[in-house]
Amino acid sequence: MTPGPRRPRPSGRRTAPRDRRGAPRPAAPPDPLVGRTVEVEVGPIAHGGHCVARHEGRVVFVRHALPGELVRVLVTEGRAKDSFLRGDAVEVLRASPHRVTPPCPYAGPAATTPGCGGCDLQHVALPHQRELKAAVVREQLQRLAGLEVDVVVEALPGTPEHERGLRWRTRVELAVDAAGRAGLRAHRSHDVVPLDDCLIADERVVATGALSTVWTGCTGVDVVAADEPEAAVEVPLPVDGPVPSVVQHVAVDGPEGEWEESFLVSARGFWQVHPAAAPTFLAHVLSELDPQPGERALDLYAGVGLFAAALADAVGVTGAVLAVEGDAVAVEDATANLEDRPQVEVRGGDVARELSAMVDQGVVADVVVLDPPRTGAGRDVVDALVRLGARRVVYVACDPAALARDTSYLLERGWRLSHLRAVDAFPMTHHVECLATFEPAAG
């Protein structure tokens, strides 16, 4: 049978192209947005070192900008279907009064500078950096925990260079590129930006020559400036052989006079990077917990035993301190640091699992300090923590979002936030340390 004529398509109507089986062919991908420049009015600071702006109804997370500025933003991440974009402020059309010239030539947008990702806020006057960080802490606690808090971010004491936000970082993890050059990674990238200097690094770190050394066969190098030895220690990565240890001294004023101790720390282990951070945090924890002779104290995420040592001396031989730490090297260091305090037990293992086991065993505590990693403690730890019967808990937090989330868990379980302190332990970056005190709401 001879086929009849094809039916004409309705006028003005276009159909999508189809493949041989009649299925619609996928549309061609839209033009990429990355590399385009858009003009935006910059909104508030957000957690993570960027500000929030909008362009054509879409959120743009902008680095190297300040609230209230009018800037041209180079889009660095984002596609047409994405709900938000990321970008760098490459031209300032209306500047904030808090804008300054970054002291470091490596800091800034990758389009106009080497684009080191180590610092987020070098373009902001240091006092205003702290105001922005306080705004982030307030926003996170309001959004995630429903709390309205009035908090300021304090400066830590130190040298004149520290007071300028420079030369404070005593531990630096350098990346190494394919040519063996050491530096820091670009923002949200594995690319290495080779450096001649890092202005936030302790001068002893730079004096090692790590930044000018060709690190053949290495993926990175850790450089640590401690109290002992006098010179900074270099640890090439991957590690070939034993990792050296360093010594950190801590002295604080306590109710019974000055308390001081020295701590053995693996060069690849955890210790606060600002030289004034450890004594400041320890003094605050002791003041807030007010441990008494004979009490039972718990130190979670105990590291090398900083808090546990001071708590042990406060509760005395009639009291008890249990220190829990998940990192095997830190457990080894803590055991050595606390061996002369028989009232201390050091347990190695996952904190959530160990804490749950303690609750099942009927373990109780009068006071608790926890200093979790950036991810925070989490629901399981909080669930077990509130069952210990403690009269007070101090939470040392390096991430305000994780703190706010865990605060919400504590509030749900009948606890209250009784005191909040924020400290600028990481000048020139978006990071901020918070020390939060919690108590049973009925207490």
Residue appearing with tokens 């050491």: 182
Which residue in 116, 198, 398, 434 is the catalytic one?
Answer: 398
Question: Which of 293, 296, 287 has its CA nearest to residue 321?
Answer: 296
* Cα gap 314→304, rounded to integer Å: 18
CA contacts within 13 A on the Cβ side of 114 = 20
Find the helix or strand (DSSP H, E) in which 315 lies: helix 306-315
* Cα gap 150→294, rounded to integer Å: 35
Residues with Cβ < 8 Å from 70, sequence gap 6 or more?
39, 40, 41, 42, 92, 93, 94
Tokens of 273: 């990077």
Residue 156's identity, in one-letter code, is L
Tokens of 34: 């990355």
Q: Is 349 strand, coil or helix?
A: coil
DSSP class per residue in 233-251: EEEEES--SPPPEEEEEEE
> Is 325 annotated as ligand-binding?
yes
> Is 409 annotated as ligand-binding?
no
442, with CB counted inside 10 A (0-12, 13-18, 19+), is exposed
Q: Are strands 296-300 and 367-370 parallel, antiparallel or unpaired?
A: parallel
Active site residue 116: no
Tokens of 296: 């039972």
> Is 261 annotated as ligand-binding?
no
* Cα gap 148→141, rounded to integer Å: 7
129, with CB counted inside 10 A (0-12, 13-18, 19+), is buried
> Is 163 annotated as ligand-binding?
no
Please, which contacts does 156-163 make with residues 24 or more away whose CB atoms are closer than 8 Å? 156/274, 156/276, 156/277, 156/280, 156/423, 156/424, 156/425, 157/276, 157/280, 158/274, 158/275, 158/276, 162/274, 162/275, 162/276, 162/427
- Tell me the H-state helices in 370-412: 379-385, 400-412
Residue appearing with tokens 């002779």: 293
Binding site residues for S-adenosyl-L-methionine, as ranges?
A: 272, 301, 325, 371
Question: Which residues are annotated as catalytic?
Answer: 398
Binding site residues, as ranges?
A: 272, 301, 325, 371
